[in-house]
Structure 1
Amino acid sequence: MGLIENFERRLERFVNGAFSKAFKSQIQPVEISSAIKAKMDAGAAVVDRERILAPNSYTVKLSQADYARLRPLGQDLVDDVKKQLLAHAKKQRYQFSGELVIEVEALSTLALGQLQVTASSVAAQISEVTWSPALDFGGKRYLLAKPRTTVGRDASADIQVNDSGLSRVHFAINWDGSSAILEDLGSTNGTKLAGRLVKSQTLPADSSIEAGRTVFVFRVIAKNEINA
């Protein structure tokens, strides 16, 4: 833990433009992951309320000696780095405008122990990202495809939940394409948002809704992530 964190702190000084750092020894996979994380953090941008869009395409350039040594790892190396980056993105609540892509190349002008990381610009893609609301509960995710989605224990609700603590049609989520409103529909036991009873309230992403004995989590996800 300390070794990785110290390494990442050293990397932060070099994320302006193309990343370049000389090491005294051969490049290790963990150093590639840390370099991309730093570049990801530097390129992340808030595009809508609490949603943060990070670059999704990275090119890592190594010295010819380091590239030749790591090349036999092939896709296993890329998959391991991706796994670490996706965990980092989840922790930071980053979202991507497309699939996470990592390419590793050799660059003859780099010396042993040097690497460069470049990230694709997402500025032109930001306006193309479509956001979709969803509810997570019971280990499943339910996409909210309508401008107004009702939740309750009765079949007349858009999302029927087997919970006797819920009213027949307990609450609704109203979505205008960019923001959501939580609305209690005169339920018997009330609807709580972040632990407080509400009648009608703006619904931020990742908020917890308590109704009956069920806890719902409201999500706002990039449309390309729905089938990921």
Structure 2
Amino acid sequence: KTVIGRTADNDLQIQSRFISRHHAQVVSDQTRSILEDLNSTNGVFIRSQRVKHQELVDGDVIQIGEHKLLYRDMRTAHRLAADADDDDDLDELEDEDEDEDDDTDADGFEEAEVGERGR
């Protein structure tokens, strides 16, 4: 849980006369994050709509008073990175299948010519 407000006891402190002492909070679990207005005077807005209780998605802009906060869902970032890694692994496998003319044997060793050393 992350509490947003004007006073020092908040997790995210925003010093502004338009921010309530305890303005809003974001409550997260393994699958989602919920923004909740804590009965603030001036409200909480997402996409220009005043909200009391709203599930957040990556990239949401939360407006509190004159301040805009960009919500980044690290779960989404980790999923995208994992998906990109999976795509890279697939590309590598496809490249290996296409590369039949190289000098690498089934064990992953390359053939090399061995010359005689001079004494």
TM-score range, shorter chain: 0.5 to 0.7
By percentage of residues, which structure has more helix? Answer: 1
Aligned residue for 2:36, secondary structure, equals strand
Aligned pairs for 1:32-181 (under 5 A) are 148-181=1-34
Match of 1:200 in 2: 53
Aligned residue for 1:219, secondary structure, equals coil
Match of 1:190 in 2: 43
**Structure 2 gap segments, 5+ residues each:** 82-119
Deviation track 1:56-97 (CA, whole Å, cap 9, x = no partner) reads: xxxxxxxxxxxxxxxxxxxxxxxxxxxxxxxxxxxxxxxxxx
TM-score, with normalisation over the residues of structure 2?
Answer: 0.61
Letter in 1 for 2:27: N
Higher relative contact order (CA 8 A, sep 6+): 1
TM-score, with normalisation over the residues of structure 1?
Answer: 0.32
Task: Give the RMSD, CA atoms, in angstroms.
Answer: 1.5
Deviation track 1:140-180 (CA, whole Å, cap 9, x = no partner) reads: xxxxxxxx110011112111112221001100001002211
Letter in 1 for 2:47: A
Match of 2:72 in 1: 219
Aligned residue for 2:72, secondary structure, equals strand
Shift >3 Å, 4+ stretches = none
Aligned residue for 1:209, secondary structure, equals strand
The separation in 2 between residues aligned to 1:193 and 1:168, in whole angstroms, is: 20
Match of 1:39 in 2: none
Give the number of the structure whose alpha-carbon radius of gyration is greater: 2
Letter in 2 for 1:155: A
- Residue 220 of structure 1 deviates from its aligned partner by 1.2
The separation in 1 between residues aligned to 2:30 and 2:54, in whole angstroms, is: 16
Letter in 2 for 1:188: T
By percentage of residues, which structure has more strand? Answer: 1
The separation in 1 between residues aligned to 2:47 and 2:53, in whole angstroms, is: 13
